[in-house]
Amino acid sequence: MAKAGQKVLVLEQHDVPGGWCHSFYLNGYRFTPGVHYIGLLGKGESTSEIYKGLGIANDLVFYKMNPKGFEHCWIGDERFDYPANFDAFVESLSERFPKEKKQIKKYLTFVKNVTTELQLIPKLKGFWQHLTAPYRTRHMGKYALFSLRRVMNWYIKDPLLQKILNIQYGNHGLPPSKAPFPLHCAIMGHYFSGGYYPMGGGGAIVKAMTNSIKKHGSEVLTKQTVKSILLAGNKKKKAIGIELDNGTQIFADRVISNADPGITFLNLVGKENLSTKFLKRLNKTKYSCTSLMLFLTVDMDVKKAGLDSGNIWMLPNRDMDDLFDEMQKIDILEGNEFPGLFISCTTLKDPASFDGRYHTIEAITYINHKSFDLFKDEEDHERSTKYLAFKERLTEKIINSLEKVVPGISDNIVHKDLGTPLTNQYYVNTTKGSVYGTEKSFKQIGPFAYKAETEIENLYLCGASILSHGVAGASYSGVETASKILGCRQEDLLKPDETQNIRIYEAEDDTHYPEWMLKKIQVKKARQLAKQQ
């Protein structure tokens, strides 16, 4: 919108912009809570195109995660690695499960077709293209209303193979029996060419966007908590600005909320200003699962321990729906370990961040937000000793699970901190600490998702609860909202720009690193060595 000549003011309640994409430091080491990998960054692929279209590609550098295994499946005692190539993926699975070879190719080709059709839908234009839409999206239409579990059972019989193919369900937070099949296809398709991690963490993407907004004459302000959206007109159905916590009022032609629908309408607009029908919908809206995130700095050779730039999904070899139900139990102190864990070593994903000695690790598990109801009324800046003890016990449980992956890690932790659902609420202002906005169930995605335009004139939505979640999904939701306001199409705002190019390097191979990057790594290691001496 700033590029189109609009004067834009971005207000962020945290002390850094970016929401889930922001980066923060603990004891001098950087972490990013919501960016663990991004897909489709190759030439001509959709995420690459959005960054080029926004004019920020030249400011971004990404590392391609381990091409032989950007995802590592640890399912009980079984192991399988996702290669960063569709054909290699099919071949690797076929070698492991020869009896299912024909069905593997058939299933994954179908997934690929559905993914292509999902990306096609927003690009349909003109009478003829819309008329032929059912044919153009025939693969998606075939199973659009079926769950992942149901479709999987039609194609694949081997229980372990099913688990391997479903393991990325953590990326949308719904178990196979509840996840819409097209949703899971979109997730798998997003990573068929592998995973990438931004140099500088998620904060690098935010910095590129913030600099671009400022370059076009607009502003980004932090520590600005919005108290309410100002309304006027007949029956107060027109947004005219916002009021901050400190009482300052800012008037605008339009207000765009990146907060989820619950925060936007129930907190900022107010129930009294909503229609009965819309209020009923809001009250029925379900939100995605929430999380525990353990941030660790360790003093050990994690590569020697077996880690690389690929993610690790660690689950017991059990029914995934039963496992999800167990993860959603309210009593999370029960047992000594968590049943499911996502593990990411950011210093191996972003080699420029490694100082030669200390590695940073992020370990995540999904839980029920009700597990923290006992502490929800506490002040964020003044937590009770009971809450801190509760966190410490949960931290121990995660570390117990981590020991299976990185033996000896407990004795080499330099710093640890645990993010909880209450942490999510405080820093990112999400309903119930949800990590993906609204729950991505059948009745809340696609045509049933919240739209950019709302029943309040001049009030618009964007973010993870609109088009899609994730870094790319939320980014595209912003473009969609801007296109509605500017009266054009997405592609009009993302015109090809050959002067823009994302620089991509291998996380596992420094052979082709440019001189400036090698120097950056060398300086970082030299500083750490000087500290030690």
In-domain check, residue 197:
no
The pLDDT value given to residue 120: 60
The pLDDT value given to residue 135: 45
The pLDDT value given to residue 235: 77
- Contact present, 447 and 182 (Cβ < 8 Å): no
At which of 137, 163, 192 does a domain end?
192
Tell me the two tokens of residue 215.
């370059």
Give how many domains the chain has, as a whole number.
Answer: 2
At which of 158, 192, 226 does a domain end?
192
In-domain check, residue 102:
yes
- Contact present, 524 and 357 (Cβ < 8 Å): no
Residue 78 phi, psi (nearest 5):
-90, 150
Distance in Å from the first CA to the final CA of the chain: 51
At which of 192, 219, 236 does a domain end?
192
In-domain check, residue 459:
no
In-domain check, residue 100:
yes
In-domain check, residue 99:
yes
In-domain check, residue 466:
no
Calculate what percentage of the chain has a pLDDT beyond 90.
88
Predicted confidence (pLDDT) at residue 462 exceeds the cutoff of 60: yes
Provide the residue range defining the domain that includes 518.
505-532
The pLDDT value given to residue 121: 57
Separation CA 61–CA 80 (nearest Å): 29
The pLDDT value given to residue 133: 46
Predicted confidence (pLDDT) at residue 196 exceeds the cutoff of 80: yes
In-domain check, residue 290:
no
- Residue whose C-alpha is closest to residue 372's, from 395, 390, 399, 393: 390
Max avg pLDDT among 65-74, 119-128, 424-433, 523-532: 65-74
Separation CA 436–CA 284 (nearest Å): 17
pTM recorded for the entire structure:
0.94
In-domain check, residue 243:
no
The pLDDT value given to residue 369: 95
The pLDDT value given to residue 67: 97
